[in-house]
Structure formats: structure tokens, C-alpha cells
Amino acid sequence: PPPSWTPPRPASARLRPPSPPPPPSPPRPPPPSPPPAPRPPSELALRSAADPSCNPTPHAGFSGGSLNWGMSFHVGTAQECCDACKAHARVCGAPGAGGRVYLNRSWEGKVSAERCAKTMTSNELGTHAAQACNVFVFCPTPPSAGGLCWSNDVWNHSSGECWLKSQAAPQRPHAGAFGAYPDAYRKKHRTAPEKVQWMSGALHPGPVTVDGPHWHW
């Protein structure tokens, strides 16, 4: 018999070179960075905070008849100062309330019974019969920032001072100091800071409109 013979494979069936590998996928973008954590409020902001019923007003020194001696009446925050004003208004606004305790104030481990005054004194109006507290002034400067609030007087006013006052129109509180001190004022009073360091508030339902500043030159 004739020798076995295998016909050649057709060209289409011959081995082909391997196909090149697919191009690599582009790298995935990194996941977005998380938003930065909010900065905690500063000590000054924490000490200056008060609820809306207090109408807290930064960089303001409201005028009015003083119902206490703030240099010996310290509290920790503007809210505590506002609460003291509210307590005074509740108790001391009644007829014949002079001498009545309206607040047991705690400061540096000591508790002081604060009593309703019979008179109130202001630089503008002199001395008159005491009225219920409706405005307050607080020094929020923390000890870490110097612990003082500048005022155009002979005293060194310290952190935590709380002055309880009364004005005829708390919805438009008169401000002896408000905002930034004028350049001419700072030239006259060389130790004055750029802005009023005090903050104030008024017991009035709804927003208040500050009447001022009325600088004491």
C-alpha cells in the first residue's frame, strides 16, 4: 500500500501568534479626603455664648444704672451673667424687694448671697431708685488671653466681671462703647485695644438695635 500521507493544514488553521494583552486599566483615583474636622470654639467664644433671649452682643458696653458692683461680682460665662440679670428681674422688680436675696452666686468655690439693691448709680444719670435688671455687661476675656477688659476708667477690669444694669428702653440699648475704637480715641487713650473687649446683652423679646456707640472721650 502507498505510504500514509497527511495533507498540510490549511493556513487558517495554522498556529497564530498570541494576541497582545489588553492595556492595563487606568489607576483608580484615590477616594476623596474627608472634610476637615470643625475647629472647636475658642475659650473666648464659649465664655461669650448666651441663649437668644439674652440678645448677646459682642464688643459692646451697654450703659445704664448699675445694680451691683461688677468688680466683685464674677461669673464664668455670659449665660451666667444673663441668668443673674433674669433672677434680679424676677425677684427685685417687686415693690419692697430691697435686701431680698435673688441669687446664690458661686465663684471659685465660694457661694455669695446676692441681694436686691435699693438704689442704682450710673455715670450718666446719677443715683436713683433701683429698677429691675434688663441689661448686663460681661467681661469674657479668658485668663489665657490676658484676662482683662479695657474701660475708660481707673480700674483694671478682670475676666468674669458681670454688671447688672437697667435702661429705660432695652429694645434699643444705649452703648457707651460698641465695635472698634476710633483711631483718634486710641491716640488719646494709648492703652485702648482695637475693639471693645466687653460683651453685653438685653432682656427683650426679639432682636435689639444698639444705640451707639457714645464714646466717653
- Per-residue pLDDT averaged across 109-133, rounded? 87
Q: Which helix H or strand E contains 177, and what residues bound it?
A: strand 175-178
**Quick count: other Cβ atoms within 10 Å of Cβ 116?**
22
112, 69 Cβ separation under 8 angstroms: no
Cα angle for residues 161, 163, 164 (degrees, 5° grid)? 145
pTM of the model: 0.81
Helix (H, G, I), strand (E, B) or coil at 105: strand
Confidence at 5, pLDDT banded by 50, 70, 90? low
Confidence at 3, pLDDT banded by 50, 70, 90? low
Confidence check: pLDDT of 13 > 60: no
Average pLDDT of the chain to the nearest whole number: 90
111, 105 Cβ separation under 8 angstroms: yes
Is the CA virtual torsion 133, 60, 200, 108 positive or negative?
Answer: negative
82, β-bridge pairs: none
**Quick count: other Cβ atoms within 10 Å of Cβ 44?**
16
135, exposed or middle or buried, with CB in 10 Å at 0-12, 13-18, 19+?
A: buried
Confidence at 11, pLDDT banded by 50, 70, 90? low
Confidence check: pLDDT of 37 > 90: no
